[in-house]
Amino acid sequence: MQAGHSPGERVGLATHVHSGMESSLQSRDVAGVHDFVLLENYGSEDAFINNLQKRFNTDIIYTYIGPVLVSVNPYKNIPIYTDDVIKTYRNIHYFEAIPHIYAVTNTAYQALKEENKDQCILISGESGAGKTEASKKILQCIAVTTGRTNQVESVKEKLLQSTPLLEAFGNAKTTRNDNSSRFGKYMDIIFNYIGDTIGGSLLNYLLEKSRVVMQAPGERNFHIFYQLLSSSDASLLDSLHLSPNTYYHYLNTSIVSMKDNEIDDIGQFRVVKRAMDVIELSEQEQTAIFTLVASILHLGNVGFSQDENGNASINAPETIATVAKLLACDPAQLTHALERKTIIARGDSVTTPLNKELAMYARDALAKAIYDRMFTWLVQRLNSSLRPVDDEFNRTKVMGILDIYGFEIFGKNSFEQFCINYCNEKLQQLFIELTLKSEQEEYFREGIEWVPVQYFDNKVICDLIEERHKGIISLLDEECLRPGDTSDMGFLNKMSINLVDHKHFVSYSKAERTMLKQIPRDEFQLVHYAGKVTYSVHGFVDKNNDLLFRNLIEVMASTKNTITKAVFTEKELESKKRPETAASQFKKSLNKLMQILVTKDPSYVRCIKPNNEQTSGIFDEQLVRHQVQYLGLMENLRVRRAGFAYRRTYDVFLKRYKSLCPGTWPNFNGDPKDGVALLTQHLQYNKYEFSMGKTKIFIRYPKTLFMTEDLFQLKKNDLATLIQRKYKTHVARKNFLKMRWAAIVMQKYIRRFLAKRAMRRRRLAVEVLRRLLKGFITRDGQPTEDNMAFIQLSRINYLNRLAGNLPKSLVDRNWPPCPKACRDLSIVLHKLYRGQQARIYRQTLSPEKKRQFDLKILAEKLFQHKKKSYTSTYLTPFEKVRLPSELHQHKTQYETNQLVPGEKLLYCTNITKYDRHGYSPRDRALLVTTKAIHIVDIKGFKVKHKLSLESVTELVVTAEMDGLLLIRIPLELKKDKGDLILQCAHVIECVTFIVDAVKKPNILKIASTSMISHNMIGGKEGQIEVTAGSELGFGKGKTGHLVVTVN
Ligand SMILES: Nc1ncnc2c1ncn2[C@@H]1O[C@H](COP(=O)(O)OP(=O)(O)O)[C@@H](O)[C@H]1O
Ligand SMILES: [Mg+2]
């Protein structure tokens, strides 16, 4: 920030968003008060001006009178126009921070969005007071505040660029302002329903076109002429036949000789070119524009001379040729049109030569007409570029910005100043209407207690100018339209006669009479609301007629230039009606403007000019006081102090804020006034804060309203949440139902699928079962398709069962039962299994055991079912040595001593030998070897018999329980004593060993007879008698036989 700017204000700006409202309220008042309403001595003009000056001296240029912004032109850049500052003002109420044009803009913008009502910002003040600058700041603020989509950005860029473009063509340097608007501008910014900028529309008012051909000393023509001539684009200048060195009559200068360091024409030209690109003016359109500007400059240099008949002729035909070439029209026709005039008299067109003066007049009229129509074309072209897309037109809202030429007093004031000042009267009238008059009338109407505030109503001046039949404009038109020679002086006379009694009109004659300051004979004075202005009557009639000779229009209509071709048409010539005069047109357009403005919610910016020098730091108290007076700021303040900041009809107020009070929410059915009363009670409004009128509530301070509005904004969140909740529930339920439905459908399909599958399975199962059942029933029959499966199954089951139930031991002869189909298999398997078991058993047997088995098997073969004692012996294991232990040593000795080499003892037992004669018993031992049977004496083991194994031909035993063993000795060997009669306790064991050694099983004879004969020596035979008895016994019977008793 610049030095001198109050640090307190700065702090207030930067921190007000965060700190409480009270602290920012304080910080706004570091220099003077920020709102004149707060002025202690509010009735005093001195205090008022003092406050303005105090603030001005600390570079605080803005001050409020309630909602009205008073702005004092600082004539220097103050750094309070950055985007950051705009953002600071965005979401706050205007009274919460130091006054600013952004605060006003933002308030209007918020109202547009919130209340959906068209807005307009009216900027007023005299020339150079800062109106145009203010309008630019408003645009900038809107641009920064609104949406950021591409489309919005492009529209905003166009809106912003429309300013430099229009300024180049419509602004000029005057003695009052280096960049003075020489046209009136009303711009509508168009917003869509969410508050985004979507377009714009411009209205232009009465361009001061006389400037094109003539400027007052110290003033310039419109900027564009100088800008074009300063262009560094040599080829452009060439093509337009322009040169900075050439003297241009319409500029009163050549560009090189012009010294104006204040204005950067070169830079501005680049800005203008860029603006044209942004506005989307085509290359052709841009060329057409520059061509027209150049044509006007050339046209200005067309001079005339006059012959002795008073007929004018062009001096420099080459200049005319250039103009014709640029405009693409016939030079001869153009020349002709400039030297003569054509008028229609009673249906015939009559052409008459012009004198030099008239020719120059015609030339200037043409130049002005071209420039003026081009300017209007440009505005329309801008409008078409800014027009929102068609479908966006519904639900749009606009914010209008009125920046019109300010009240103007020059050394010499002409028709233009008259129009400009008239326009300012109208605006002042509107301001009074809306702020002072209607307000007070409303209090009265509504029955609010009110002491009327006196103010000056400028309606009387407006009437003086525009009243039908009596007003100045009517008198001027009358003079213009009357037949015969019309003149400015005629007009002045008319006024002097008709308006002589009017308080606000002074003419020469009237001044003379009333001894007022002299007024020249050709001038008249109007006492405007803003001061007295003396107008020179010269040119009024001409300018009002605004005539362009027919033949000039015809030439222009014949040009090829896009713009002239479009703005001058033959149609214009066909119209029989006389065109409306300039003043009447202006009056009409102003009244239309007033109609536009009254339909909108207005905001006001009142611009004040601190000095006439256009310099910073000078506060010309007198000058300011004058403006404060004529702007009616004091009255404004007085109404403000006593009045109410805000009013709304009860129903509207209730509709907006009813949600803030339980008694009125959601609906209040009674009289809205009662509803509002309830509401104010609930919101605890203080008595002095508001007043209840007949149809409206009046709220005194914006603070009260904004407090309410803030509450509403907060409440809106709650309401939004409620709506959201309902909506979300609705959406969620819809979703849920959809999902449930989907789930049901899915379930249906899945269930069907599962059911089908289960059904198939069950059907299959039934089939399998049925087949099995059939198979079971027919399992014993022939294999068929039906029972095969069952049989197969029973086989598998059988095998599985079998595997788990196999007998563990070889002795276990059990074998699991089997189905019929497996009977053969079972047998084979049983056999195989037993074979396998036996094999395993065998493999685990020791040689001894094996021998034991072999012998037992042999014994079985020999004796089973043949000898009774067999059954009682087969469980007793065979023993190789059946001798009492005391004999073992003998036996061992015998083995070593008596056996021949290679002979091995196989068996030995003690036996009883019976003599063949007398059958005396003798204790002997019998030894079986691999070669022979040895019978030895038991005492000392002396050999008694030795019978080689080959010699053993027969063994005889009885079939009974006894131990008789008869060993037949072959006859050739009977040299000894005949057959051996032996009794052996283990006869079966003994026989088995012998047979095993002899290896001839058939040598055993089991006698079934009771008599057994045996050989004796000498061919004799003995008899052994087997008889039954109670006791087993051996002995010689009475018969002489050996009797064996068995039981
Ligand atoms: N807010 C401002 N800050 C700085 N300079 C300003 C401001 N307002 C106006 N000026 C200066 O005053 C000059 C005239 O302002 P302008 O808006 O053209 O006046 P008006 O449109 O009322 O005739 C501008 O060119 C500019 O130099
Ligand atoms: Mg201006």
Cα gap 876→878, rounded to integer Å? 6
- Sign of the four-CA dihedral 96, 99, 101, 107: positive
**125 in contact with ligand 1, CB cutoff 6 A:** yes
How many angstroms separate the alpha carbon of residue 59 from the centre of ligand 1? 15
Those residues with Cβ within 8 angstroms of residue 1004's Cβ, 6 or more apart along the chain or in another chain: 862, 954, 955, 956, 957, 991, 995
**627 in contact with ligand 1, CB cutoff 6 A:** no
The active-site residue out of 135, 181, 197, 1015 is 181
**133 in contact with ligand 1, CB cutoff 6 A:** yes
pLDDT of residue 956: 92
pLDDT of residue 508: 79
Cα gap 729→37, rounded to integer Å? 51
How many angstroms separate the alpha carbon of residue 130 from the centre of ligand 1? 4
**128 in contact with ligand 1, CB cutoff 6 A:** yes
Across the range 422-430, mean pLDDT stands at 90
Q: Is the pLDDT of residue 16 over 70?
A: no
666 preceded by a cis bond (ω within 30 of 0): yes
Cα gap 420→423, rounded to integer Å? 5
2, 70, 71, 75, best to mutate for ligand 1 pocket (most atoms within 8 Å of CB): 75
In this structure, of 46-55, 638-647, 967-976, the range with the lowest mean pLDDT score is 967-976
411 or 289: which leads in pLDDT: 289
**75 in contact with ligand 1, CB cutoff 6 A:** yes
**132 in contact with ligand 1, CB cutoff 6 A:** yes
1, 56, 73, best to mutate for ligand 1 pocket (most atoms within 8 Å of CB): 73
Q: Is the pLDDT of residue 483 over 50?
A: yes
160 alpha carbon, distance to own chain's centre: 31
Q: State whether residue 162 is helix, strand or coil.
A: helix
Buried b (16+ CB within 10 A) or exposed e, 834-869: eeebeeeeeeeeeeeeeebeebbebbeebbeeebeb
**135 in contact with ligand 1, CB cutoff 6 A:** no
**Longest C-alpha distance within the chain, in Å?**
223
Point out the ligand 1 atom lying closest to the alpha carbon of residue 133. Answer: 17
Instruction: Write out the two tokens for 304.
Output: 């005339």
Measured by CA distance, the residue closest to atom 9 of ligand 1 is 130
Instruction: Write out the two tokens for 980.
Output: 């051996």
pLDDT of residue 12: 33
pLDDT of residue 747: 93
User: Is 611 exposed, middle or buried (CB count within 10 Å of its CB: 0-12, 13-18, 19+)?
Assistant: middle
pLDDT band at 386 (very low <50, low <70, confident <90, very high): very high
Please state, rounded to an integer, the average pLDDT across all residues of the chain: 87
Across the range 182-211, mean pLDDT stands at 92
The active-site residue out of 146, 177, 301, 534 is 177
pLDDT band at 67 (very low <50, low <70, confident <90, very high): confident
Instruction: Write out the two tokens for 275.
Output: 């603006």
Q: Catalytic site residue 6? A: no
Q: Catalytic site residue 128? A: yes
Across the range 231-256, mean pLDDT stands at 89
Q: Is the pLDDT of residue 6 over 60?
A: no
Instruction: Write out the two tokens for 140.
Output: 């900038």
pLDDT of residue 392: 61
DSSP 651-667: HHHHHHHGGG-TTTSS-
pLDDT band at 13 (very low <50, low <70, confident <90, very high): very low
Percent of the chain's residues with pLDDT above 70:
95
Q: Is the pLDDT of residue 17 over 60?
A: no
**Digit-coded pLDDT (tens) for 501-556:** 888 998 877 766 666 667 888 899 999 988 889 999 999 998 998 888 888 999 99
How many angstroms separate the alpha carbon of residue 162 from the centre of ligand 2? 14
Q: Is the pLDDT of residue 1 over 60?
A: no
179, 402, 409, 614, best to mutate for ligand 1 pocket (most atoms within 8 Å of CB): 179
Cα gap 596→810, rounded to integer Å? 127
How many angstroms separate the alpha carbon of residue 174 from the centre of ligand 1? 13
Token pair 């037109």 in the structure block, residue: 393
Buried b (16+ CB within 10 A) or exposed e, 69-94: bbbbbbbeeeebbeeebbebbeebbb
The active-site residue out of 128, 184, 199, 400 is 128
Q: Catalytic site residue 132? A: yes
Q: Catalytic site residue 91? A: no
**Digit-coded pLDDT (tens) for 757-773:** 999 999 999 988 888 88
Q: Is the pLDDT of residue 478 over 60?
A: yes
pLDDT band at 2 (very low <50, low <70, confident <90, very high): very low
Measured by CA distance, the residue closest to atom 15 of ligand 1 is 130
The two beta strands, 601-608 and 68-72, are parallel
Point out the ligand 1 atom lying closest to the alpha carbon of residue 178. Answer: 25
Ligand nearest to the CA of 178: 1
pLDDT band at 845 (very low <50, low <70, confident <90, very high): confident
Phi, psi of 881 (to 5 degrees): -120, 110
The active-site residue out of 408, 416, 425, 479 is 408
How many angstroms separate the alpha carbon of residue 167 from the centre of ligand 2? 9
How many angstroms separate the alpha carbon of residue 73 from the centre of ligand 1? 6
How many angstroms separate the alpha carbon of residue 123 from the centre of ligand 2? 10
- pTM confidence score: 0.65
126, 176, 177, best to mutate for ligand 1 pocket (most atoms within 8 Å of CB): 177
**185 in contact with ligand 1, CB cutoff 6 A:** no
Instruction: Write out the two tokens for 829.
Output: 């398997």
180 with 174: CB under 8 angstroms? yes
Point out the ligand 1 atom lying closest to the alpha carbon of residue 177. Answer: 14
What is residue 436's DSSP assignment?
I
Point out the ligand 1 atom lying closest to the alpha carbon of residue 77. Answer: 4
Instruction: Write out the two tokens for 669.
Output: 């059915």
Q: Is the pLDDT of residue 754 over 50?
A: yes
**146 in contact with ligand 1, CB cutoff 6 A:** no
Ligand nearest to the CA of 134: 1
How many angstroms separate the alpha carbon of residue 180 from the centre of ligand 2? 5
Q: Is the pLDDT of residue 875 over 60?
A: yes
Point out the ligand 1 atom lying closest to the alpha carbon of residue 137. Answer: 1
Q: Provide the β-strand partners of residue 697.
A: 648, 692
Across the range 43-72, mean pLDDT stands at 93
**126 in contact with ligand 1, CB cutoff 6 A:** no
710 with 462: CB under 8 angstroms? no
How many angstroms separate the alpha carbon of residue 1017 from the centre of ligand 2? 183
Those residues with Cβ within 8 angstroms of residue 599's Cβ, 6 or more apart along the chain or in another chain: 118
Those residues with Cβ within 8 angstroms of residue 575's Cβ, 6 or more apart along the chain or in another chain: none
3-state DSSP of 193-238: CCCCEEEEEEEEECCCCHHHHCCCCCCCCEHHHHHHHHCCCHHHHH
How many angstroms separate the alpha carbon of residue 259 from the centre of ligand 1? 22
Ligand nearest to the CA of 166: 2
Across the range 144-153, mean pLDDT stands at 84
Q: Catalytic site residue 1031? A: no
The active-site residue out of 406, 675, 693, 775 is 406
pLDDT of residue 29: 52
61 with 74: CB under 8 angstroms? yes
**Digit-coded pLDDT (tens) for 670-689:** 999 999 999 999 999 988 88
What is residue 454's DSSP assignment?
P
CB atoms within 10 A of CB 293: 22
- Sign of the four-CA dihedral 787, 791, 796, 798: positive
Token pair 């050999």 in the structure block, residue: 943
**636 in contact with ligand 1, CB cutoff 6 A:** no
Token pair 């056996």 in the structure block, residue: 899
Q: Provide the β-strand partners of residue 521.
A: none
133, 141, 407, best to mutate for ligand 1 pocket (most atoms within 8 Å of CB): 133
pLDDT of residue 9: 35
**127 in contact with ligand 1, CB cutoff 6 A:** yes
pLDDT of residue 5: 37
Residue (of 400, 420, 365, 394) closest to 542 by Cα position = 365
The active-site residue out of 27, 105, 132, 561 is 132
**691 in contact with ligand 1, CB cutoff 6 A:** no
How many angstroms separate the alpha carbon of residue 611 from the centre of ligand 1? 12
Percent of the chain's residues with pLDDT above 90:
46
pLDDT of residue 24: 43
Separation of first and last alpha carbons in the chain: 154
Buried b (16+ CB within 10 A) or exposed e, 315-338: eeeebbbbbbebbebebeebbebb
Residue 1046, H or E segment:
strand 1042-1046
3-state DSSP of 270-321: HHHHHHHHHCCCCHHHHHHHHHHHHHHHHHHCCCEEECCCCCEEECCHHHHH
Q: Is the pLDDT of residue 608 over 70?
A: yes
Point out the ligand 1 atom lying closest to the alpha carbon of residue 136. Answer: 17
Q: Catalytic site residue 493? A: no
101 or 217: which leads in pLDDT: 101
184 or 345: which leads in pLDDT: 184
How many angstroms separate the alpha carbon of residue 813 from the centre of ligand 1? 132
